[in-house]
Amino acid sequence: MGEAIRLTSGADGFSFGAYHAPAEDARRGGLVLIQEIFGVTDHIRELADGYAADGYETIAPSLYDRRNPGFEASYGSEDVAEGVRLSQATPWDEVAGDLAAAVAALQPPVFVAGYCWGGTATWLAACRVDGVAAASSFYGRRIPELLDETPRCPIILHFGRHDASIPMAVVEQIGEAHPDIPIHVYDAGHGFFSDRRADYSPDAARLARLRTLQLFARNGGGRSEV
């Protein structure tokens, strides 16, 4: 359904890859879909296609391309370790510049959603990137690194109550720092949105997706004739 495209970062002129899924039927808006630590995988492309079917022209940027072009990890231990390494080696300032290029490549309104490492990058985009209408962040473990920054657009956060990598104390810390931001907690673990993960929870995934689409609809994501 989608295609591979290239984007150019406004920060340093670096050219990086992305997956582009055009909106099906009437267009509701644009969506920047941010990867997990595993890169732009089949799972991310399937999610992009799903949002495109809902009317959102979707771009999933490959944010590790400077260090490992086209990186797509499996869920094996070695690939997971490489994904973690790449996520730690990729500075947030660089990520913000690349996300700005992805947002600029879409006609407004433009929304952002991301998972795992991408959940934190979604928070970053809401705080720093111009042109974001609303954002939905899924289990962003590293959001506490950016708690001194405040989102400039509506954002909702999703966490699993049984996520061993994000204790509820961390979720509470985020809520105390930003009490006006809606935080949804599900009876699930980490990665509950992904049907590739052991902690996949269909009920939690459906509800989180519904809340995400409702957020987008409230912030400009209505049907158009374009």
Give all domains of the chain, ordered by start, each with its CATH number. 3-218 (3.40.50.1820)
State how far the Cα of 19 lies from the Cα of 141, in Å rounded to an integer. Answer: 24
pLDDT at 225 over 70: no
Q: Which helix (H) or strand (E) holds 138?
A: strand 132-138
Q: Give the model's pLDDT for residue 76.
A: 83
Q: Give the model's pLDDT for residue 74.
A: 86
Higher pLDDT, 146 or 198: 146
Edge-first strand order for the sheet with 110-115 is: 3-8, 15-21, 56-61, 29-34, 110-115, 132-138, 155-160, 183-186
Report the share of the chain in percent with pLDDT over 70.
Answer: 98
CB of 221 closer than 8 Å to CB of 111: yes
| Residues 6 or more apart in contact with residue 161 via CB below 8 angstroms | 168, 185, 186, 187, 188
Q: Give the model's pLDDT for residue 223.
A: 64
pLDDT at 152 over 50: yes
Higher pLDDT, 80 or 213: 213
Q: What are the structure tokens assigned to 171, written together?
A: 């979720």
Q: Give the model's pLDDT for residue 224.
A: 54
163 is catalytic: yes
Q: Give the model's pLDDT for residue 25.
A: 82
Placement of tokens 């390494």 in the chain: 85
Q: What is the mean pLDDT of residues 14-41?
A: 96
Q: What is the mean pLDDT of residues 32-61?
A: 97
The number of angstroms, rounded, from the C-alpha of 134 to the middle of its chain's C-alpha atoms is: 12
Placement of tokens 């509470």 in the chain: 172
pLDDT in tens, 156-195: 999 999 999 999 999 999 999 999 999 999 999 999 999 9
- Indicate the SS3 state at residue 8: strand
pLDDT at 222 over 90: no
116 is catalytic: yes
Q: What are the structure tokens assigned to 161, written together?
A: 């109550």
Q: What is the mean pLDDT of residues 38-59?
A: 97
Q: Give the model's pLDDT for residue 168.
A: 97
pLDDT at 145 over 80: yes
Q: What is the mean pLDDT of residues 197-208?
A: 94
State how far the Cα of 128 lies from the Cα of 151, in Å rounded to an integer. Answer: 8
Residue-averaged pLDDT of the chain: 95
pLDDT in tens, 11-27: 799 999 999 999 998 99
Torsion 92-93-94-98 (CA) sign = positive
Q: Where are the alpha helices (DSSP H) in the chain?
A: 42-53, 77-89, 92-104, 117-128, 168-177, 202-218
pLDDT in tens, 88-111: 999 999 999 999 999 999 999 999
Which listed residue (54, 116, 127, 178) is catalytic? 116
Torsion 65-68-69-73 (CA) sign = negative
Q: Give the model's pLDDT for residue 226.
A: 41
Which listed residue (65, 127, 163, 178) is catalytic? 163
